């Protein structure tokens, strides 16, 4: 089993656990809901990268991930994005911010107006939350129109350097 496979399996188990923990009223039926873990707090080896920041991997690519990379939900369904759920409290130090792009926007279409600012804030990819960015949060979004939506971390380095994005397929 490769490292990548192990991460994927762990993430899948976690998504199942989150789904089971949701109250019955939220479970709207087949594909009425989906859950995405937004960042993997405990992945790889520990390393301090700055005051108060512990990146849990020598290469942050394992941590700066959406699991699953593609979530599927029916039109009208709700996707729950959980930031930082996997980490031990001492490792919940890296903030994230969920942004969902309009239909038709791909990773190469994202406009970074100010390359020196941390937030991307592309009007075509409005922030869902948390606001301000946080290492520990749960945010939800309802998807009414079918299509394939790009979901990214609004913190520019996470997106540009670590490709922290995924997809929601609405059918």
- Do strands 77-83 and 53-55 pair parallel, antiparallel, or not at all (unpaired)? unpaired
- The answer to whether 56 and 12 have CB atoms below 8 angstroms apart is no
d(CA 67, CA 85): 12
Report the residue from 153, 156, 166, 170 that binds Cu ion according to the rule CB under 5 A.
153
- The answer to whether 83 and 99 have CB atoms below 8 angstroms apart is no
For residue 98, the minimal CB distance to Cu ion (Å) is 9
96 near Cu ion (CB under 5 A): yes
Count of residues that interact with Cu ion, criterion CB under 5 A: 5
Task: Supply the DSSP string of 89-102, one letter for each residue.
Answer: GGGTT--EEEEEPP
Report the residue from 55, 100, 155, 168 that binds Cu ion according to the rule CB under 5 A.
155
Part in contact with Cu ion (CB under 5 A); list of ranges 49-57, 76-84, 121-129, 163-171: 163-171
Report the residue from 43, 92, 141, 158 that binds Cu ion according to the rule CB under 5 A.
158
| Residues at the contact surface with Cu ion, assessed by CB under 5 A | 96, 153, 155, 158, 164
């Amino acid at each position: 089993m490769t490292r990548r496979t192990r991460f994927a399996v762990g993430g899948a188990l976690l998504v199942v656990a989150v789904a089971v923990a949701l109250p019955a009223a939220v479970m709207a039926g087949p594909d009425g809901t989906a859950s995405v873990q937004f960042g993997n707090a405990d992945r790889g080896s520990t390393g301090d990268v700055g005051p108060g920041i512990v990146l849990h991997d020598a290469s942050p690519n394992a941590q700066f991930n959406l699991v699953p990379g593609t979530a599927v939900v029916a039109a009208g369904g709700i996707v729950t994005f959980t930031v930082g759920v996997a980490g031990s409290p001492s490792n919940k130090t890296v903030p994230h911010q969920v942004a969902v792009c309009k239909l038709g926007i791909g990773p190469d279409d994202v406009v970074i107006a100010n390359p020196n600012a941390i937030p991307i804030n592309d009007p075509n990819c409005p922030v869902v939350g948390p606001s301000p960015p946080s290492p520990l949060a749960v945010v939800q979004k309802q998807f009414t129109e079918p299509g394939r939506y790009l979901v990214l971390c609004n913190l520019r380095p996470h997106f540009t350097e670590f490709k922290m994005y995924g997809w929601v397929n609405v059918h």
